[in-house]
Amino acid sequence: MIEVKFRVWDLHLGIMQFDAYLCHEFVRYLQEDRYITMQYTGLKDRNGREIWEGDVLGDEYGNVRYEVFRIEGGFGVNTHKDDLGRYTVFYTALGDVQMASYVGTNCVVMGNKYENEGLIRKWI
């Protein structure tokens, strides 16, 4: 069974808060514009690190980067580039067995798009 848990990015303080559980405090996170909530995907990278919504994934050489984001019914990663080398809205669901297996055995969490904005800029 997948563990349901959340983390929260505080836009004002610029810090990540983990262990945001479904409680009175969590409802406040959802209601205020200063917070961005992210859910744990239930997957871990090749090093055993948890993969969260908003994370940027790559291989051990820093290649083939993906951004993890929420889609209807779960999570996805962008998988296609356009003719200019920019990532597009095409994605593969992390619930897909082959993709989940690939991520768990080949990818590493390089950071997340909030704490490490430069990761996104490098490959857009």
pLDDT of residue 76: 83
Residue 1 lies in a domain: no
Sign of the Cα torsion 1, 100, 109, 27 reads: negative
| Residue 94, burial from CB neighbour count under 10 angstroms (0-12, 13-18, 19+) | buried
Region class of 64: left (phi > 0), else alpha (psi between -120 and 50), else beta: left
Model confidence at 108: pLDDT above 80: yes
Of 5 and 31, the one with more pLDDT: 5
Residue 97: which domain range? 6-123
- Other beta carbons less than 10 A from residue 116's beta carbon: 14
What is the pLDDT of the chain when averaged over all its residues? Answer: 78
pLDDT of residue 90: 61
Q: Tell me the chain's radius of gyration from C-alpha atoms.
A: 15
Of 10 and 79, the one with more pLDDT: 10
Measured between alpha carbons, how far is 10 from 60 in angstroms, rounded to an integer?
29
Would you say 23 and 57 are in contact if contact means Cβ atoms under 8 Å apart? no
pLDDT class for 109, splitting at 50, 70, 90? very high
pLDDT of residue 79: 64
Residue 91 lies in a domain: yes
Q: Indicate the helix (H) or strand (E) that contains 56.
A: strand 55-58
Residue 101 lies in a domain: yes
Q: Structurally, how many domains does the chain consist of?
A: 1
Q: At 3, which amino acid appears?
A: E
pLDDT tens figures, 6-56 = 888 888 888 887 766 655 566 666 667 888 888 899 899 999 999 999 998
Among 61-65, 69-73, 98-102, the least confident range: 61-65
Model confidence at 62: pLDDT above 80: no
pLDDT of residue 49: 95
Model confidence at 100: pLDDT above 60: yes
CATH number of the domain bearing residue 106: 2.30.30.290
